[in-house]
Amino acid sequence: MTYADLERQAQARALTILGGFHEDGTVLILGPDPQTFWPALTAAPDWNAPDPVDAWSTRVIGAWARELGAEARFPFGDPPQPFVTWMLRTGRCHVSPAHLLVHDTHGLMVSARGALLLPGRIALPAPRPSPCDGCAAPCLSACPVGAIDPQGYDLDACHAHLSGPNACMAQGCAIRRACPVSPPRPAAQSAHHMSFFHRELP
């Protein structure tokens, strides 16, 4: 089994491999494929679950892990898993000037849906430089209420903005959309994610 084989299998499941690293085998971080994930999710039986994205991820990644003789891990539920640390270890995710993780091809729209812990050591492609290198950082000026700046993130200001009519709730976070590397995705997908983020207000 090669990395290219696993990439093809991921794509067939509306997933993409965000990167990996070696630790007692190979750990691969999985994210939604920008073009195929949303149609696959909305057509799946999981769409009727209380949290469709987590239900879909658990079912699809869990089944794939069993086929591969691997273990599945998820960034939700118990026990908590160190996904931010794992994503940084791949060398393909970096901390952006806006304090959010940024991926070399998914930009600020990067999202981990799960991980595969494979028993064998699989050769991994070399990581690419951070997309923030040489970037003018439009992410820092994109927020309509200035919730993110070089000093940090104002969660209260963000949620206060999301409580009224705004483009962020309808199209996705303006900061994430401002990243020149972020791939386009359906507005309905962004609206779904934003509604779950906003309802989790502490």
117, 71 contact by CB (below 8 A): yes
> Where would I find the beta strands (DSSP E) of the chain?
15-22, 26-32, 71-73, 93-95, 101-103, 114-118, 148-149, 152-153
Distance CA 53, CA 67 (A): 21
202 has a pLDDT exceeding 60: no
- pLDDT tens digits, residue range 174-196? 999 999 999 999 999 999 999 98
Q: Which of 59-68, 134-143, 193-202 has the lowest mean pLDDT?
A: 193-202
139 has a pLDDT exceeding 80: yes
Instruction: Tell me which DSSP letter residue 62 carries.
Output: H
Mean pLDDT for all residues in the chain: 94
Q: What is the pTM of this model?
A: 0.94
Which pLDDT band, with edges at 50, 70 and 90, does 152 fall under? confident
* Mean pLDDT for the stretch of residues 138-155: 88
**% pLDDT > 90, the chain:** 83
H or E element, residue 188: helix 187-199
- pLDDT tens digits, residue range 77-129? 888 899 999 999 999 999 999 999 999 999 999 999 999 999 999 999 999 99
CA neighbours closer than 13 Å in the CB half-sphere of residue 200:
8
78, 151 contact by CB (below 8 A): no
Which pLDDT band, with edges at 50, 70 and 90, does 200 fall under? low
- pLDDT tens digits, residue range 44-69? 999 999 999 999 999 999 999 999 99
* Mean pLDDT for the stretch of residues 144-157: 86
Amino acid at 124: L
Distance CA 122, CA 20 (A): 9
